[in-house]
Amino acid sequence: SAVISQKPSRDICQRGTSLTIQCQVDSQVTMMFWYRQQPGQSLTLIATANQGSEATYESGFVIDKFPISRPNLTFSTLTVSNMSPEDSSIYLCSARGEANTEAFFGQGTRLTVV
C-alpha cells in the first residue's frame, strides 16, 4: 500500500495568482496522477505525472495552465496557474504501484479562488 500526503489541504487564492500543490508518497510508485473534482462532480483526470519527463495531459488540460513536475518516484507537484474562480475545486493526487492494481489517493487540496 501507499500513503499519500498532499499540501496544502486547502487554500483561498486571489484570481490571477498561481498555487503549487505538493504530493508526497511514502514509497516508490510507478505512476502518479492528478485529478480535479469540482463541486458535485466526479473525478476528472488532469494528467499523468511522468518521472523525469513532461506530464501527459488529458483532453481539455494544458501544460501552461497546469504545469506538473515529478523529479523522482515519490514526489510530484501540480501548479494551477493564473487562477480564476472556475478553478475552484478539489485537486487530488493519486498513485499506483503496478498496472491494474489499487490506486491510492491523497486527502485532496480544496482550492477556492476569489
Partner 1 sequence: AQRVTQPEKLLSVFKGAPVELKCNYSYSGSPELFWYVQYSRQRLQLLLRHISRESIKGFTADLNKGETSFHLKKPFAQEEDSAMYYCALSTGGFKTIFGAGTRLFVKA
What part of residues 27-46 is at the interface with partner 1 (CB under 8 A)? Answer: 30-31, 33, 35, 41-45
> Can residue 54 be called a binding residue for partner 1 (CB under 8 A)?
no
Query: Which residue is listed with cell 500500500?
Result: 1
Contacts with 102 (C-beta within 8 Å, 6 or more apart), sequence order: 1, 96
CB of 97 to partner 1, least distance (A): 10
The CA R_g of the chain, rounded to the nearest whole Å, is 13
CB of 2 to partner 1, least distance (A): 12
59 binds partner 1 (CB under 8 A): no
Furthest-apart CA atoms within the chain: distance in Å: 39
Least distance in angstroms from the C-beta of 64 to partner 1? 22
